[in-house]
Amino acid sequence: MRNTLRRKAMACCGLVAIALVTVTGCGSDDEASSSSSTTSAATSSAKAAAADPAAVKSITDAYVLFFDGKAGADKKVAVVEKGAEFTPLLQAQAANPQAQSTSVTVGGVKLIDADNADVTYSLLMNGTPVLPDQTGQAVRQGGQWKVAAATYCALMAIQGGTSPAC
């Protein structure tokens, strides 16, 4: 079963990467630009939700790490709700060379309550937005902000994939 999940995840990642490359064409490979965008997005997020800048920074950091194509699966498991259940999929994605060019910018964080937030983000490939202005959620568990499982499940659904954790 684990190999089946892994194959499905790799196929989904491959299809998404191919689709994204087709849609975006040749994008800029300027990592400094992507890093700068992420930093300014985090700064504008913090200004937008000045009520709790520490929470906004923590949520932004979780999203940036989770969608960093170069980050290892173990790091992503730690910043996503139900991380242990997503481990096989995250490992398969980490092994996919096409997925390694993804990143994210966070455009805004709106705290709903002490343990929930709405997040506006754009998924990038080689620094070029491929899924702009997406809406996701963040949840706080054990004092740590994480990307909500529902957000990851929604992205998998776009790719035509699924997980028992969804």
Residue 98 pLDDT more than 80? Answer: yes
Domains of the chain with CATH codes = 2-159 (3.10.450)
β-pairing, 144-147 vs 102-113, is unpaired
Higher pLDDT pick, 134 / 160: 134
- The pLDDT > 90 percentage for the chain reads 58
Q: Rounded mean pLDDT of 80-91?
A: 95
* pTM, full prediction: 0.71
Residue 124 pLDDT more than 80? Answer: yes
pLDDT of res. 51: 67
Q: What is the 3-state secondary structure (H, E, C) of the chain?
A: CHHHHHHHHHHHHHHHHHHHHHHHCCCCCCHHHHHHHHHHHHHHHHHHCCCCHHHHHHHHHHHHHHCCCCCCHHHHHHCECCHHHHHHHHHHHHHCHHHHHEEEEEEEEEEEECCEEEEEEEEEECCEEEEEEEEEEEEEECCEEEECHHHHHHHHHHHCCCCCCC
∠ at Cα 68 (62, 72), nearest 5°? Answer: 95
Higher pLDDT pick, 85 / 31: 85
**Dist. CA 110–CA 99, nearest whole Å:** 28
pLDDT of res. 140: 98
Q: Rounded mean pLDDT of 74-87?
A: 96
**Dist. CA 130–CA 21, nearest whole Å:** 9
- For the stretch 19-41, pLDDT in tens is 332 232 333 334 344 444 444 44
Q: Is 146 exposed, middle or buried (0-12, 13-18, 19+ CB in 10 A)?
A: buried
Average pLDDT, the chain: 78
Residues 6 or more apart from 105 whose CB is under 8 A from it?
Answer: 34, 37, 38, 41, 121, 122, 124, 129
Side chain identity at 126, as an amino acid letter?
N
Higher pLDDT pick, 1 / 160: 160
Higher pLDDT pick, 28 / 77: 77
Give the residue from 97, 89, 102, 121 showing the smallest Cα distance to 9: 89
pLDDT of res. 19: 33
